[in-house]
Amino acid sequence: MSKRSLTVSLITLFALATLSFAETHSKIHQPTLTPQNSGTTQGLIAVSPVNSRVVWAAGRGGTFLVTTDGGDTWKAGVVPGAEMLQFRDVQGVSDKVAYLLSIGSNPTDFRIYKTVDGGATWTMQFQNQNPGAFYDCFAFWTPKRGIAHSDSVNGVFPDLRTTDGVTCRTLAVILPPALPGEASFASSGTCVATQGARNAWIATGGSSTARILATRDQGDTWNAYDTPLVSSPSAGAFTVAFRDHWHGIVGGGDLDPSDPNNAATATSSDGGKTWNLTNKPPVTGAIYGLSYVGGVGDSGDREGTDDNGRHAVVITANTGGAAWTPDEGNTWFTLPSVTGFWAVAFASPKAGWLVGTGGTILKISF
């Protein structure tokens, strides 16, 4: 082949590659963002869709919210006796049933509340008595089976499990030993994720290594696996999600404002045993929350695909911005002017919600 022919061939290949890249990106379906009126100015920290119409959210000042019409109207309320607490997680079960997880300045401020009448009344089902515990998040396999995760205390995690939706029992003797200072981050209620009937993953940091604690048998046994995310007393893995029992994504970073460039995501294809960094997401600080853009299946599985069949994920980094990826971190797109949001979750690709500071809510649809 002559040099001229080789040059022409290379130019042709480059042109085809450029055209293919342009065509691919022209087909990307950008999401629609619709502001919704929450009815509160309290900061919102967690959100839990039950389906495309019923969604629960919660946050500061003992505040909870519920909608039964996809967010066209929201009902905001305050749990009596929790006015000075922050709800860092919420789990919606139906339009009537939901759980809340609170934090505060005292050990007994870590509580779990439950409603069975749409928020008209709440029952406190757990109140912490461990002076060193700090409960960050919880997640459920079924309406009555779930786990709540705490920072480590004296080398163990005083985590809880319920099998009846009423009483809680400790998992402290079952979980792997904690690393020195190992903890999680109560940033969006997504430091623990459940999938299917028996799988769960917990994201940690605060120590020398950011880890994933994983169970395959509803918390009877656990294993600990390292991730490549940065970890320190102010950094680690903040949020985790799985779209099936093998494939998941973890996000994190550093809360230290002097070191804002450690926001990162990593994916696993072996159930959390090994993790590989994705391309760097276009946000700064720490990734507070992330969610697959999938619906909630009959078994509670997150399907994890957008309407074009890609494995799309949305992340939010509070003041560091928000972004989404159609392919689990290979390609990223920023969500313009979206900042100050703590959590994101989807009922379906057409029905997702971002919640954040000042009671702000955005519905996001792909």
Distances (CA, A) of 316 to 14, 180, 187, 309, 331: 35, 28, 10, 22, 16
At 12, is the secondary structure helix, strand, or coil?
Answer: helix
pLDDT of residue 23: 41
**Architecture of domain 32-365 in this structure:** 7 Propeller (2.130)
User: pLDDT tens across 27-71, in order?
Assistant: 677 899 999 999 999 999 999 999 999 999 999 999 999 999 999
Lowest mean pLDDT among 5-19, 168-182, 191-205: 5-19
Which residue has better confidence, 322 or 9?
322
pLDDT of residue 29: 76
Is residue 134 a contact partner of residue 151, using CB atoms and an 8 Å limit?
A: yes
pLDDT of residue 16: 42
Q: For the chain, what is the mean pLDDT?
A: 91
Does the pLDDT of residue 282 top 50, yes or no? yes
Does the pLDDT of residue 289 top 60, yes or no? yes
CA distance 141 to 326: 26
User: pLDDT tens across 64-104, in order?
Assistant: 999 999 999 999 999 999 999 999 999 999 999 999 999 99
- Region 333-340: mean pLDDT is 96
pLDDT of residue 310: 67
Which residue has better confidence, 25 or 156?
156
Model confidence, pTM: 0.90
What is the number of residues in the chain?
A: 366
For residue 294, what pLDDT band results from cuts at 50, 70 and 90? confident
Question: In one letter, which amino acid is 126?
Answer: F
For residue 22, what pLDDT band results from cuts at 50, 70 and 90? very low
Does the pLDDT of residue 346 top 50, yes or no? yes
- Region 225-233: mean pLDDT is 98
Look-up: residue for tokens 């009846």? 164
How much of the chain exceeds pLDDT 90, in percent? 87
- Region 160-188: mean pLDDT is 96
For residue 1, what pLDDT band results from cuts at 50, 70 and 90? low
Greatest mean pLDDT range, 13-27, 264-278, 301-315: 264-278
Q: Phi/psi at 14 (nearest 5 deg)?
A: -65, -40
Is residue 202 a contact partner of residue 160, using CB atoms and an 8 Å limit?
A: no
Q: For the CA atoms of the chain, what is the radius of gyration?
A: 21
Separate counts of helices (H) and strands (E) for the chain: 1, 28
Q: Is 136 exposed, middle or buried (0-12, 13-18, 19+ CB in 10 A)?
A: buried
Lowest mean pLDDT among 30-39, 197-206, 268-277, 291-300: 291-300
Q: Which structure tokens are listed for 193?
A: 């994720």
Does the pLDDT of residue 192 top 90, yes or no? yes
As a dihedral over the C-alpha atoms of residue 216, residue 201, residue 107, residue 100, rounded to 10 degrees, the angle is -90
Is residue 203 a contact partner of residue 209, using CB atoms and an 8 Å limit?
A: no
